[in-house]
């Protein structure tokens, strides 16, 4: 995902494209694979509405994700995540940015599959490390800021990510508009 500035210069317009997909899209994938960035680009370029599960959890609880993990533990965070994803039922033309661990719970996968096309964004461990090296907002990456640990966490989650996904998009080396286009083209094909 290079050249992020290209978003503001993009001249894509869905009416000139074969991107007739009008349902919801859920973006899943490991931390640092670009879910939030791509979500915002799908909104900016293609006019989709956006919801971000982590941001909604923080808004509802008035707490940062780190604080929720520290004070109440991961299970409690996962419960909040399930409630939040459930609250998106009934949405249309919306892109849902999911936390990287959302699909580790089968219930969440059921919700996402019912209401959206599920798109897995992938990136190399090196890319994830580069993007998140100065970030301290991810409790699951504390003490694991190296490619070996990231690769091993990715490998642990790989089956769950792949089983949840309707579409897989590799983000390495692609511009954000290219990624958006690939997502919508594939979603239109399988709707
Ligand atoms: C998590 C990913 C985070 C956030 C929480 C747990 C995970 O979201 O939900 O820190 O277990 O992978 P991002 O993928 O948006 O960083």
How many angstroms is it from 178 CA to the middle of ligand 1? 24
SS3 content of the chain, % helix, strand, coil (to 5): 55, 15, 30
Helix ranges restricted to H, 24-146: 35-46, 53-61, 65-72, 74-86, 106-115, 125-132
Each residue's pLDDT tens digit, 47-72: 899 999 999 999 999 999 999 999 99
Could you tell me which of 124, 77, 128 has the C-alpha nearest to residue 105?
77
Mean pLDDT of 22-43: 95
> Is the predicted pLDDT of residue 128 greater than 70, yes or no?
yes
Distance from first CA to last CA of the chain, Å, rounded? 26
Q: Which domain holds residue 157?
A: 24-189
* 153 touches ligand 1 (CB under 6 Å): no
Residue 13 belongs to a domain: no
Residue pLDDT, tens place only, 144-162: 999 999 999 999 999 999 9
Using a pLDDT cut of 90, give the percent of the chain over it: 84
Mean pLDDT, residues 8-19: 50
Task: Calculate how far, in angstroms, residue 15's C-alpha sits from the geometric centre of ligand 1.
Answer: 34
pLDDT at 190 over 90: no
Rounded CA separation 61/49 (Å):
22
Assess if residue 69 is contained within a domain.
yes
State residue 50's pLDDT score: 96
Which pair of structure tokens corresponds to residue 126?
């090196």
Q: Is residue 16 part of a domain?
A: no
Residue 183 and residue 171 in contact, taking contact as beta carbons nearer than 8 Å: no
Atom of ligand 1 nearest to the CA of 33: 14
In the 8-state DSSP scheme, what is residue 93?
S
Q: How many domains does the chain have?
A: 1
Instruction: Report yes or no on 150 lying in a domain.
Output: yes
Task: Note the pLDDT tens digit of each residue in 113-124.
Answer: 999 999 999 999
Q: Does residue 4 belong to any structural domain of this protein?
A: no
């Amino acid at each position: 995902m290079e050249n992020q500035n290209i978003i503001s210069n993009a001249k894509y317009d869905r009416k000139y494209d074969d991107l007739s997909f009008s349902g919801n899209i859920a973006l899943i994938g490991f931390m640092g694979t670009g879910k939030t960035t791509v979500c915002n680009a799908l909104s900016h370029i293609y006019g989709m509405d956006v919801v971000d599960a982590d941001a909604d959890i923080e808004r509802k609880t008035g707490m940062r994700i780190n604080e929720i993990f520290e004070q109440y533990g991961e299970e409690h965070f996962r419960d909040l995540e399930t409630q939040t994803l459930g609250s998106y039922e009934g949405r249309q033309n919306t892109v849902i940015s999911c936390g990287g661990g959302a699909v580790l719970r089968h219930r969440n996968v059921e919700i996402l599959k019912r209401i959206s096309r599920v798109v897995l964004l992938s990136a190399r461990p090196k890319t994830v490390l580069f993007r998140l090296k100065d970030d301290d907002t991810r409790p699951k990456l504390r003490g694991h800021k190296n490619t070996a640990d990231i690769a091993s966490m990715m490998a642990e989650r790989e089956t769950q990510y792949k089983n949840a996904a309707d579409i897989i998009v590799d983000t390495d080396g692609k511009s954000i508009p290219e990624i958006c286009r690939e997502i919508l083209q594939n979603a239109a094909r399988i709707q």
